[in-house]
Amino acid sequence: MSDLRQDLKAEFEDPEYRYAYAESFLNTKLATQIKILREQRQKTQSELGAVVGTKQSGFSRFEDVNHSVWKTDTLWKIARALDVRLDIAFRTFGSIIDDKEHFTKEAMQCQDFDHDPAFAELSAAGVGQPCPARRNRRRIYSSDGRRHRLRSAAGGTQGVGRASGVSGGGVGSASSSAPAPNLILRANAMQGVFNGI
Amino acid sequence: MEEWRVYCYLGGMRRDNVVREWLATESVSVAQIAAFQEKIDTLEMSGPTMVPGFISETPVAKDIYKMKIKGNKGRKQLRPMCCRGPFGPNEYTILAGAVERDGKLVPENVKDTARLNLNELRADPTRRVHERLAPRPKG
- Give pLDDT tens digits for A131-185: 555 444 444 343 444 444 444 444 444 433 343 333 333 333 333 344 444 445 6
B138 touches chain A (CB under 8 A): no
Task: Give A64's contacts in chain B (Cβ within 8 Å).
Answer: 52-53
Report how many Cβ contacts below 8 Å link chain A to chain B. 81
Give residue ranges of A with CB < 8 Å to any B CB: 4, 7, 10-11, 14, 16-21, 23-25, 28, 31-32, 35, 63-69, 100-101, 103-105
pLDDT value, residue A183: 47
What residues are paired with A186 via a beta bridge? Answer: A85
How many separate domains does chain B show?
Answer: 1
Contacts of A90 (CB under 8 A, 6+ apart): A171
**B104-106 and B65-66 beta bridge pairing:** unpaired
Gap between the Cα atoms of A157 and B124, Å rounded:
72
In chain A, where the domains are located: 2-195
Q: Is B7 helix (H, G, I), strand (E, B) or coil?
A: strand
Gap between the Cα atoms of B86 and B124, Å rounded:
11
Contact B34 A68 (CB under 8 A): no
Instruction: Kindly report the CATH class assigned to A2-195.
Output: mainly alpha
pTM over 0.80: no
Residue B110 DSSP code? H
Closest-CA distance of chain A to residue B34, Å: 5
Domain that holds residue B118: 5-129
CA distances from A68 to A100, A122, A126, B71 (A): 19, 40, 44, 10
Q: Is residue B51 part of a domain?
A: yes
> How do residues A30-63 score in pLDDT, each as one tens digit?
999 999 999 999 999 999 999 999 999 999 999 9
Among B residues 60-89, those touching chain A with beta carbons less than 8 Å apart:
68-70, 72
pLDDT value, residue B15: 81
Q: Residue B106, by phi and psi: left (phi above 0), alpha (psi -120 to 50) or beta? A: beta
Gap between the Cα atoms of B33 and A132, Å rounded:
57
Q: Is B138 helix (H, G, I), strand (E, B) or coil?
A: coil
> How do residues B24-50 score in pLDDT, each as one tens digit?
999 999 999 999 999 999 999 999 999
Report which residue type is found at B63. Answer: D
What residues are paired with B61 via a beta bridge? Answer: B64
Nearest residue, CB atoms, B51 vs list A21, A65, A101: A65
> How do residues A63-93 score in pLDDT, each as one tens digit?
999 999 999 999 999 999 999 999 999 999 9
Closest-CA distance of chain B to residue A82, Å: 19
Residue by residue, DSSP assigns B56-104 as -SS-SBTTBEEB-B---TT---B--EEEE-SSSTTEEEEEE--EEETTE
Q: Is A160 helix (H, G, I), strand (E, B) or coil?
A: strand
Low-confidence ranges of chain B (pLDDT < 70): 1, 72-74, 137-139
pLDDT value, residue A128: 62
pLDDT value, residue A184: 57
Contact A11 B70 (CB under 8 A): no
Residue A2 has pLDDT above 90, yes or no: no
